[in-house]
Amino acid sequence: MELFKYMEMYDYEQVVVCQDKQSGLKAIIAIHDTTLGPALGGTRMWTYESEEAAFEDALRLAKGMTYKNAAAGLNLGGGKTVIIGDPRKDKNEAMFRAFGRFIQGLNGRYITAEDVGTTVEDMDLVYQETDFVTGISPAFGSSGNPSPVTAYGVYVGMKAAAKEAFGDDSLEGKRVAVQGVGNVAYTLCRHLHEEGAKLIVTDINKQAVQRAVEEFGAEAVNTEDIYRVDCDIYSPCALGATVNDETIPQFKAKVIAGAANNQLKETRHGDIIQEMGIVYAPDYVINSGGVINVADELLGYNRERALKKVETIYDSISTIFEISKRDQIPTYVAADRMAEERIETMRKSRKQFLSNGMNILSRGR
């Protein structure tokens, strides 16, 4: 991989490669853009096919966080870490503590949290070594697992998408096909069930499916059938890239609104679904509840305040639909425009030097 060429292409600021032989830590911390503030983004632990694949994932995810944080109105830039390893077998205390020391060395340029393959318990270990970690246990005065709050954000964003598609934001009686009923989607299903939506679910984990069937009266389908079921809303809550050439012709849904990151396999798939009249709630906007929640810790965590901010996802999604219609552009482009405009405006407003300049880390800690 030509790292500098790739970094220049998307204007990445910094990539830090961390190694600790004793614990087996191999981590890549990617900082994409700190115009709005310190880079905040989770730590993914995954078995990658190659080092190149791990670098690419870290870089792609870090850029996604720049856009997510900007669109969410946070004073935070974008970053992400990838730890190479199997989260079921390769974790140990020393690994996360070594990782914490590397983060501390960045002196606040990067703040971490959990992502796929890491947990609140892992972040508690990181916290032993650094101030720059969020999503740790409530016992430390922190916000805990971000997933239920991400789910709440997806729920309110789905209501905004329903309003756009059906003229009414009620989800009562709507058929919602949920792909993956893990941490986020379990709580999402609860909100949907409480509002009277009809759930169709799938997961490779049979127990997760069973729980949704028993608790929410969900109908279970095979993993490959979820794209073609008769439904109003398709909610991807497992993997990325599920909106692609194979799945699009199968869709019966009028709305796509889910938690997964990077739902469009390629940007052209966003163009295709727009032309088909499917209302797409851009992934990094609708799933920003988790990062909004952990970011609140930097101010001294207040759940009520965090949830109020998460509710603004409804307005953000509605604004994106307005921009999309006004400028005749797909919704994913409208979201990017909204994020980029905020970053550019703030970049220009920060021209003067201030020796005592404020940032989000000057508060609450």
Ligand X SMILES: CC(C)C[C@H](N)C(=O)O
Ligand Y SMILES: NC(=O)c1ccc[n+]([C@@H]2O[C@H](COP(=O)([O-])OP(=O)(O)OC[C@H]3O[C@@H](n4cnc5c(N)ncnc54)[C@H](O)[C@@H]3O)[C@@H](O)[C@H]2O)c1
Residue 112 or 179: the one with the smaller Cβ distance to ligand Y is 179
Which of ligand X, ligand Y, none sits in contact with 180, Cβ below 5 to 8 A by type? Answer: ligand Y
Q: Is 135 exposed, middle or buried (0-12, 13-18, 19+ CB in 10 A)?
A: buried
Bridge-based pairing state of the strands 25-33 and 14-20:
antiparallel
Q: Considering the rule CB under 6 A, would residue 292 count as an interface residue with ligand X? A: no
Is residue 25 within 8 Å of 95, Cβ to Cβ?
yes
Name the residue nearer to ligand Y (CB basis): 202 or 329: 202
For residue 76, the 8-state DSSP code is -
Number of chain residues interacting with ligand X (CB under 6 A): 12
For ligand Y, the closer CB: 259 or 329: 259
- For residue 134, give both structure tokens: 């969020």
Q: Which of residues 247-266 bind ligand X (CB under 6 A)?
A: 261
204 binds, among ligand X, ligand Y, none (CB under 5 to 8 A by kind): ligand Y
Q: Which does 208 bind (CB under 5 to 8 A by kind): ligand Y, ligand X, none?
A: ligand Y
Using the rule CB under 6 A, is 122 a contact of ligand X?
no
Contacts of 330 (CB under 8 A, 6+ apart): 270, 271, 273, 274, 280, 324
For the record, the structure tokens of 326 come out as 């006004």
**Options 77, 85, 146, 153; binder of ligand X; rule CB under 6 A:** 146
Considering the complex, what minimum distance in angstroms separates the CB of residue 141 from ligand X?
A: 17
- The residues that are catalytic are 80
Q: Parallel, antiparallel, or unpaired: how do β-strands 43-46 and 77-84 relate?
A: parallel
> Which residues make beta-bridge pairs with 30?
15, 80
Residue 37 binding ligand X, by CB under 6 A: no
Measured between alpha carbons, how far is residue 163 from residues 76, 157, 220, 286 in Å? 30, 10, 27, 15
With CB under 6 A as the contact rule, the residue among 77, 117, 148, 290 that binds ligand X is 290
By CB under 6 A, name the binding residues for ligand X. 41-42, 68, 113, 115, 135, 146, 261, 287, 290-291, 294
